[in-house]
Amino acid sequence: MSTVQGRLRIAVQKSGRLADRSLDLVRDAGLRVVKGNNDLLYRVENYPIDLLRVRDDDIPTFVADGVCDLGIVGENVLEEARNGGPTAEVIMPLGFGRCTLKIAVPPTLAYDSPASLEGLRVATSYPKILRRFLDERNVRADIVTMRGAVEVAPRLKLASAICDLVSTGATLEANGLGPRETVLESQAVLIRSPVAPEPGLQHLLDSIIERMAGVVSSQG
Ligand code: PRP
Ligand code: ZN
Ligand code: MG
Protein backbone atom coordinates (compact mmCIF):
# COMPACT_ATOMS: atom_id res chain seq x y z
CA MET A 1 0.00 0.00 0.00
CA SER A 2 1.50 3.36 -0.95
CA THR A 3 0.93 6.62 0.85
CA VAL A 4 -1.27 9.11 -0.92
CA GLN A 5 0.79 12.27 -1.36
CA GLY A 6 -0.47 15.20 0.62
CA ARG A 7 -3.08 13.45 2.75
CA LEU A 8 -3.15 12.15 6.31
CA ARG A 9 -4.58 8.76 7.06
CA ILE A 10 -6.52 7.63 10.10
CA ALA A 11 -7.09 3.90 10.62
CA VAL A 12 -10.47 2.97 12.09
CA GLN A 13 -12.25 -0.32 12.64
CA LYS A 14 -14.54 -1.10 9.72
CA SER A 15 -17.12 -2.98 11.76
CA GLY A 16 -17.27 -4.17 15.33
CA ARG A 17 -17.48 -2.74 18.81
CA LEU A 18 -15.39 0.39 18.10
CA ALA A 19 -16.58 1.25 14.60
CA ASP A 20 -19.49 3.63 15.30
CA ARG A 21 -17.88 5.46 18.19
CA SER A 22 -14.65 5.89 16.23
CA LEU A 23 -16.53 7.59 13.41
CA ASP A 24 -18.40 9.73 15.95
CA LEU A 25 -15.10 10.93 17.43
CA VAL A 26 -13.72 11.83 14.02
CA ARG A 27 -16.90 13.75 13.16
CA ASP A 28 -17.08 15.48 16.55
CA ALA A 29 -13.51 16.66 15.95
CA GLY A 30 -14.85 18.60 12.95
CA LEU A 31 -13.96 16.24 10.12
CA ARG A 32 -16.68 15.92 7.48
CA VAL A 33 -16.52 12.28 6.46
CA VAL A 34 -17.89 11.20 3.08
CA LYS A 35 -17.96 7.71 1.62
CA GLY A 36 -15.54 7.21 -1.24
CA ASN A 37 -15.84 4.90 -4.24
CA ASN A 38 -14.91 1.94 -2.13
CA ASP A 39 -15.63 0.76 1.37
CA LEU A 40 -11.99 0.71 2.45
CA LEU A 41 -11.48 4.44 2.18
CA TYR A 42 -13.68 7.26 3.44
CA ARG A 43 -12.65 10.80 2.51
CA VAL A 44 -12.72 13.87 4.71
CA GLU A 45 -14.01 16.68 2.54
CA ASN A 46 -12.87 19.69 4.56
CA TYR A 47 -9.27 18.54 5.19
CA PRO A 48 -6.69 16.47 3.29
CA ILE A 49 -7.42 13.37 5.36
CA ASP A 50 -8.64 9.86 4.52
CA LEU A 51 -10.06 7.25 6.87
CA LEU A 52 -8.79 3.75 6.21
CA ARG A 53 -11.47 1.28 7.36
CA VAL A 54 -9.90 -2.04 8.26
CA ARG A 55 -10.01 -4.99 10.67
CA ASP A 56 -9.04 -3.84 14.15
CA ASP A 57 -6.24 -6.44 14.26
CA ASP A 58 -4.54 -4.69 11.34
CA ILE A 59 -4.60 -1.20 12.85
CA PRO A 60 -1.46 -1.47 15.08
CA THR A 61 0.68 -2.60 12.13
CA PHE A 62 -0.65 0.05 9.75
CA VAL A 63 0.14 2.78 12.27
CA ALA A 64 3.50 1.33 13.37
CA ASP A 65 4.61 1.11 9.73
CA GLY A 66 3.49 4.63 8.85
CA VAL A 67 0.81 3.48 6.40
CA CYS A 68 -1.54 5.47 8.66
CA ASP A 69 -0.64 8.51 10.77
CA LEU A 70 -3.28 7.90 13.46
CA GLY A 71 -5.40 5.00 14.53
CA ILE A 72 -8.26 4.22 16.89
CA VAL A 73 -7.96 0.76 18.40
CA GLY A 74 -8.60 -1.25 21.57
CA GLU A 75 -5.77 -1.65 24.07
CA ASN A 76 -6.39 -5.39 23.87
CA VAL A 77 -5.58 -5.45 20.15
CA LEU A 78 -2.62 -3.09 20.58
CA GLU A 79 -1.15 -5.21 23.37
CA GLU A 80 -1.55 -8.45 21.42
CA ALA A 81 0.21 -6.86 18.42
CA ARG A 82 3.36 -5.92 20.38
CA ASN A 83 6.26 -7.76 18.79
CA GLY A 84 9.46 -5.98 19.77
CA GLY A 85 9.46 -3.99 16.52
CA PRO A 86 8.55 -0.34 16.01
CA THR A 87 5.28 0.42 17.75
CA ALA A 88 2.53 2.96 17.57
CA GLU A 89 2.55 5.47 20.40
CA VAL A 90 -0.55 5.79 22.58
CA ILE A 91 -1.69 9.41 22.65
CA MET A 92 -4.71 9.06 24.92
CA PRO A 93 -7.49 6.78 26.14
CA LEU A 94 -10.80 7.60 24.48
CA GLY A 95 -13.29 6.52 27.13
CA PHE A 96 -15.31 4.11 24.98
CA GLY A 97 -15.02 0.47 23.93
CA ARG A 98 -14.41 -0.65 27.47
CA CYS A 99 -14.10 -4.39 27.93
CA THR A 100 -12.09 -6.85 29.98
CA LEU A 101 -10.03 -9.82 28.87
CA LYS A 102 -11.00 -12.56 31.31
CA ILE A 103 -10.32 -16.17 32.00
CA ALA A 104 -13.64 -18.03 32.17
CA VAL A 105 -14.40 -21.64 32.96
CA PRO A 106 -17.32 -24.08 32.89
CA PRO A 107 -18.90 -24.99 36.24
CA THR A 108 -17.24 -28.41 36.08
CA LEU A 109 -13.78 -26.88 36.44
CA ALA A 110 -12.64 -26.00 39.97
CA TYR A 111 -10.79 -22.70 39.70
CA ASP A 112 -8.96 -21.08 42.62
CA SER A 113 -6.15 -19.24 40.89
CA PRO A 114 -4.23 -19.28 37.59
CA ALA A 115 -2.38 -22.33 38.95
CA SER A 116 -5.65 -24.25 38.45
CA LEU A 117 -4.92 -24.07 34.71
CA GLU A 118 -1.63 -25.99 35.05
CA GLY A 119 -1.44 -28.70 32.38
CA LEU A 120 -4.80 -27.70 30.83
CA ARG A 121 -5.70 -26.25 27.45
CA VAL A 122 -6.99 -22.68 27.26
CA ALA A 123 -8.62 -21.27 24.10
CA THR A 124 -8.16 -17.60 23.21
CA SER A 125 -7.81 -15.05 20.41
CA TYR A 126 -5.11 -13.35 22.51
CA PRO A 127 -2.31 -15.96 22.73
CA LYS A 128 0.52 -13.50 23.41
CA ILE A 129 -1.24 -11.66 26.22
CA LEU A 130 -2.35 -14.94 27.78
CA ARG A 131 1.12 -16.49 27.47
CA ARG A 132 2.68 -13.51 29.24
CA PHE A 133 0.04 -13.67 31.97
CA LEU A 134 0.64 -17.39 32.56
CA ASP A 135 4.45 -17.13 32.34
CA GLU A 136 4.50 -14.37 34.95
CA ARG A 137 2.67 -16.77 37.27
CA ASN A 138 4.75 -19.81 36.34
CA VAL A 139 1.73 -21.66 35.01
CA ARG A 140 2.35 -24.13 32.20
CA ALA A 141 -0.77 -24.49 30.08
CA ASP A 142 -1.39 -25.14 26.40
CA ILE A 143 -2.87 -22.26 24.48
CA VAL A 144 -5.23 -22.96 21.58
CA THR A 145 -5.56 -19.93 19.33
CA MET A 146 -9.00 -19.33 17.81
CA ARG A 147 -10.03 -16.40 15.63
CA GLY A 148 -13.57 -16.36 16.93
CA ALA A 149 -16.26 -18.38 18.71
CA VAL A 150 -13.82 -18.94 21.57
CA GLU A 151 -16.76 -19.36 23.93
CA VAL A 152 -17.76 -22.69 22.37
CA ALA A 153 -14.33 -24.29 22.94
CA PRO A 154 -15.13 -25.89 26.32
CA ARG A 155 -18.37 -27.44 25.03
CA LEU A 156 -16.50 -28.90 22.05
CA LYS A 157 -13.82 -30.22 24.43
CA LEU A 158 -11.29 -28.16 22.51
CA ALA A 159 -10.17 -26.57 25.75
CA SER A 160 -10.89 -26.67 29.48
CA ALA A 161 -11.08 -22.91 29.86
CA ILE A 162 -11.10 -19.77 27.74
CA CYS A 163 -9.56 -16.32 27.85
CA ASP A 164 -11.81 -13.87 26.00
CA LEU A 165 -13.16 -10.35 25.96
CA VAL A 166 -16.11 -9.66 28.18
CA SER A 167 -18.22 -6.57 27.92
CA THR A 168 -21.81 -7.18 29.03
CA GLY A 169 -21.11 -10.79 30.04
CA ALA A 170 -23.99 -12.06 27.86
CA THR A 171 -21.74 -14.28 25.74
CA LEU A 172 -20.23 -16.05 28.75
CA GLU A 173 -23.63 -16.49 30.34
CA ALA A 174 -25.19 -17.88 27.18
CA ASN A 175 -22.43 -20.46 27.05
CA GLY A 176 -22.56 -21.46 30.70
CA LEU A 177 -19.12 -20.04 31.48
CA GLY A 178 -18.15 -18.11 34.60
CA PRO A 179 -15.55 -15.30 34.70
CA ARG A 180 -12.73 -16.11 37.16
CA GLU A 181 -9.79 -13.83 36.47
CA THR A 182 -9.07 -10.45 34.88
CA VAL A 183 -6.13 -10.57 32.49
CA LEU A 184 -6.41 -7.09 30.97
CA GLU A 185 -8.70 -4.06 31.20
CA SER A 186 -9.17 -2.38 27.86
CA GLN A 187 -10.71 0.63 26.16
CA ALA A 188 -10.24 2.40 22.85
CA VAL A 189 -7.09 4.52 22.53
CA LEU A 190 -5.82 7.00 19.97
CA ILE A 191 -2.44 5.95 18.59
CA ARG A 192 0.05 7.74 16.37
CA SER A 193 2.75 6.55 14.04
CA PRO A 194 6.46 6.74 14.94
CA VAL A 195 6.88 7.74 11.28
CA ALA A 196 6.46 11.52 10.87
CA PRO A 197 4.01 12.74 8.21
CA GLU A 198 5.27 14.83 5.32
CA PRO A 199 6.35 18.18 6.77
CA GLY A 200 3.41 20.05 5.24
CA LEU A 201 0.94 17.86 7.18
CA GLN A 202 2.51 18.02 10.63
CA HIS A 203 0.52 21.05 11.71
CA LEU A 204 -2.76 19.47 10.59
CA LEU A 205 -1.88 16.25 12.43
CA ASP A 206 -1.19 18.15 15.65
CA SER A 207 -4.41 20.10 15.37
CA ILE A 208 -6.52 16.97 14.72
CA ILE A 209 -5.04 15.36 17.84
CA GLU A 210 -5.78 18.52 19.82
CA ARG A 211 -9.41 18.59 18.63
CA MET A 212 -9.89 14.93 19.47
CA ALA A 213 -8.46 15.55 22.94
CA GLY A 214 -10.97 18.36 23.32
CA VAL A 215 -13.86 16.11 22.33
CA VAL A 216 -12.75 13.37 24.74
CA SER A 217 -12.27 15.73 27.68
CA SER A 218 -15.65 17.38 27.08
CA GLN A 219 -17.21 13.93 27.33
CA GLY A 220 -15.56 13.63 30.76
C1 PRP B 1 -16.05 -10.21 22.04
C2 PRP B 1 -15.90 -11.59 22.58
C3 PRP B 1 -17.31 -12.08 22.73
C4 PRP B 1 -18.08 -10.79 22.98
C5 PRP B 1 -18.37 -10.60 24.45
O6 PRP B 1 -16.08 -10.27 20.67
O7 PRP B 1 -15.14 -12.41 21.71
O8 PRP B 1 -17.74 -12.68 21.54
O9 PRP B 1 -17.28 -9.71 22.52
O10 PRP B 1 -19.24 -9.50 24.65
P11 PRP B 1 -20.38 -9.59 25.75
O12 PRP B 1 -19.72 -9.82 27.08
O13 PRP B 1 -21.05 -8.25 25.68
O14 PRP B 1 -21.30 -10.71 25.36
P15 PRP B 1 -15.90 -8.95 19.78
O16 PRP B 1 -17.17 -8.71 19.07
O17 PRP B 1 -15.36 -7.81 20.59
O18 PRP B 1 -14.72 -9.27 18.83
P19 PRP B 1 -14.57 -10.43 17.74
O20 PRP B 1 -15.69 -10.21 16.77
O21 PRP B 1 -13.22 -10.10 17.16
O22 PRP B 1 -14.65 -11.69 18.50
ZN1 ZN C 1 -10.84 -8.34 15.86
MG1 MG D 1 -16.51 -12.45 19.54
User: Can you give the pLDDT of all 220 residues of the chain as single tens digits?
Assistant: 445 579 999 999 999 999 999 999 999 999 999 997 888 999 999 999 999 999 999 999 999 999 999 999 999 999 999 988 889 999 999 999 999 999 999 999 999 999 999 999 999 999 999 999 999 999 999 999 999 999 999 999 999 999 999 999 999 999 999 999 999 999 999 999 999 999 999 999 999 999 999 999 999 7
User: Is this prediction's ipTM beyond 0.85?
Assistant: yes
Largest CA distance in the chain: 61
Which of 20, 145, 171, 175 has the most ligand 1 atoms within 8 A of CB, as the residue to mutate?
A: 171
58 touches 34 (CB < 8 A): no
Give the domains, in start order, of the chain with CATH numbers: 8-97+188-218 (3.40.190.10), 99-186 (3.40.190.10)
Residue owning the nearest CA to atom 22 of ligand 1:
148
The answer to whether the CB of 148 is under 6 A from ligand 1 is yes
- pTM of this prediction? 0.93
